[in-house]
Chains A and B, each alone.
Chain A
């Protein structure tokens, strides 16, 4: 139905590479020479740093990941430190599969993905199709209607909706799948999604998408509490201005920062997220608030909400915001809050807060 609109605007031949950033996204504003110069030098720096790091990483994982498990057992702290510095882009896809446990799932379930894609039908098919062109629409791989990117995205999401009919398809999952597909094959992306949602290594994330979005509600309530404890002045300001985390942070949790954050930052967060789990989402969230704290505490409701959805460019620099995030210690408190939340009325808390509006 939307054919007319979309086809009219479909790019014909491949766009010139200069219109794309290094991840394949169409540049927002090509004329902004200022920032492209900055990006360029940042890119060079990363490249040099990258070459050294790639050599170390190759040693660490061995051929096709053969030495990985052994290495992690022997030197978990080295692994953690290197992941926090960023996985080299050329090895990212492989390493993600190793640290998420998805590689094992794939090996244990030969032929399952194909079965799900080809033979099964899903009640979510139309919902998935409706959102396909609305997932990373500014990325060259996903932009072309019925192109390979859109087809893979559809297949992975459909396969998942059949694999777990309770979850089915929920908006937001497409951004996870899309991000993964830029680094691995359909089948690999599917199993990584399974590893995350079913909890191969960390706590399962499927509660983010189940009916009632229970895990979203839990995370938002925990995040609100952490803000009050770590940034009391801002926490106070938020409650005075009636800002609730569901107004700005639901996307952070539902898509693990892949929905609207600069891609280079999202990738770095994902590196850590896959190895250390969801607490990095809380940490980055807190780090962003901390970094912008002095501005945020001065803003009234509307401007505040705008600022919380549009962080300044310097806050989006992974080498600024991630070290700050790592410095925030929340593991123990987060566990306590989880237990408290499970004991208490769960959903009630977040609803009560909005009641005040």
Chain B
């Protein structure tokens, strides 16, 4: 969104929160964006939205996060929001095996609707309920390796690893983007005809709203 140059940030990254219903997506979002956890939260209907700005390697990065309803039938609405997303936090509940078994189906959803090089972090949420654990960390780790995902166990309730999960996603996206930017710069500098002034300040402001990462 917002193609306009905004001096509040250098980059704008769209991230989607997905995973089965009841795994804690909305509370992960409220923990990350407002440092709040709500025990009496309602189930999400449709999509919700929040942002947070943070620093990644000296750059100001704004994360624009879309929280989606988890129930399968809602994908009719929510899958449209995968488009343009450069990151995804795929959440399951460590106390509910089914929500972990469904990770594959969510990955398929992303493959069908999202950008092919979207950065995906898998989060096993509710790690505070360790005594009710139904998914071992090892199982999750091996799935993450097999699918090439980052992985963390989180607890929105205890504010454990939520920050880190998002930071990792944003860091990874930033690295992909900055590599691409470098490649583009090199490519363009070789093709620039003699006598053309390369306006560096323009270029740096453009990085803030690249089509690939900002919408």
Which residues of A are interface residues toward B (Cβ below 8 A)? Answer: 1-2, 4-6, 9, 127, 130-131, 134-138, 143, 170-172, 174-175, 209, 211-213, 216-217, 241-242, 246-247, 250-251, 254-255, 259-260, 300-302, 305, 309, 350-351, 354-355, 357
On whether the beta carbons of B21 and A305 are closer than 8 Å, the reply is: no
- C-alpha spacing A309/B64, complex, angstroms: 16
On whether the beta carbons of A246 and B42 are closer than 8 Å, the reply is: no
Question: Among B1, B22, B96, B132, which residue has its beta carbon within 8 angstroms of that of A301?
Answer: B1
Among the stretches B66-74, B100-108, B183-191, B197-205, the one at the interface with A is B66-74
On whether the beta carbons of A131 and B43 are closer than 8 Å, the reply is: yes
- C-alpha spacing A246/B74, complex, angstroms: 12
Q: List 30 A-B contacts (CB under 8 A).
A: A1-B96, A1-B129, A4-B129, A5-B129, A6-B39, A131-B22, A134-B42, A143-B40, A170-B71, A171-B21, A171-B71, A172-B45, A209-B73, A213-B77, A216-B76, A217-B77, A241-B2, A242-B215, A246-B47, A247-B49, A250-B46, A250-B47, A250-B77, A301-B1, A302-B1, A302-B2, A350-B80, A351-B80, A354-B81, A355-B83
Does B150 interact with chain A (Cβ within 8 Å)? no
Closest 8 CB pairs of A and B: A250-B46, A137-B40, A354-B80, A134-B43, A213-B76, A130-B22, A357-B84, A251-B45
Minimal beta-carbon separation of B3 from chain A (angstroms): 9
| Contact partners of A1 in chain B: CB under 8 A | 95-96, 129, 132
- C-alpha spacing A171/B157, complex, angstroms: 23
Nearest residue in A to B98 (C-beta to C-beta)?
A: A126
| Contact partners of B73 in chain A: CB under 8 A | 170, 209, 211-213
Q: Which of A131, A171, A174 has the largest count of B CB atoms less than 10 A from its CB?
A: A171
- C-alpha spacing A136/B1, complex, angstroms: 33
| Contact partners of B44 in chain A: CB under 8 A | 171
Does B41 interact with chain A (Cβ within 8 Å)? yes
Does B30 interact with chain A (Cβ within 8 Å)? no
Question: Among A130, A242, A246, A259, which residue has its beta carbon within 8 angstroms of that of B77?
Answer: A246
On whether the beta carbons of A216 and B77 are closer than 8 Å, the reply is: yes
On whether the beta carbons of A255 and B1 are closer than 8 Å, the reply is: no
Nearest residue in A to B43 (C-beta to C-beta)?
A: A134
| Contact partners of A134 in chain B: CB under 8 A | 22, 41-43
Minimal beta-carbon separation of A145 from chain B (angstroms): 12
Minimal beta-carbon separation of B190 from chain A (angstroms): 33
Q: Please report which residues of chain B, range 129-165, place their CB below 8 angstroms from some CB of chain A when the two chains form the complex.
A: 129, 132, 157
On whether the beta carbons of B41 and A305 are closer than 8 Å, the reply is: no
What 14 additional pairs, Cβ within 8 angstroms, besides A1-B129, A213-B76, A254-B45? A1-B95, A2-B95, A2-B129, A130-B22, A170-B73, A211-B73, A213-B74, A216-B76, A246-B77, A250-B45, A250-B77, A254-B46, A300-B4, A357-B84
| Contact partners of A246 in chain B: CB under 8 A | 46-47, 77, 80
On whether the beta carbons of B49 and A305 are closer than 8 Å, the reply is: yes
- C-alpha spacing A130/B95, complex, angstroms: 13
Does B51 interact with chain A (Cβ within 8 Å)? yes
Do A130 and B45 contact each other (CB < 8 Å), given the known contacts A5-B157, A211-B73? no
On whether the beta carbons of A137 and B41 are closer than 8 Å, the reply is: yes
| Contact partners of B47 in chain A: CB under 8 A | 246-247, 250
- C-alpha spacing A309/B51, complex, angstroms: 15
Nearest residue in B to A138 (C-beta to C-beta)?
A: B40
- C-alpha spacing A1/B64, complex, angstroms: 32
| Contact partners of A127 in chain B: CB under 8 A | 21, 71
| Contact partners of B46 in chain A: CB under 8 A | 246, 250-251, 254
Question: Among A259, A302, A357, which residue has its beta carbon within 8 angstroms of that of B215?
Answer: A357
- C-alpha spacing A355/B84, complex, angstroms: 9
On whether the beta carbons of A131 and B80 are closer than 8 Å, the reply is: no
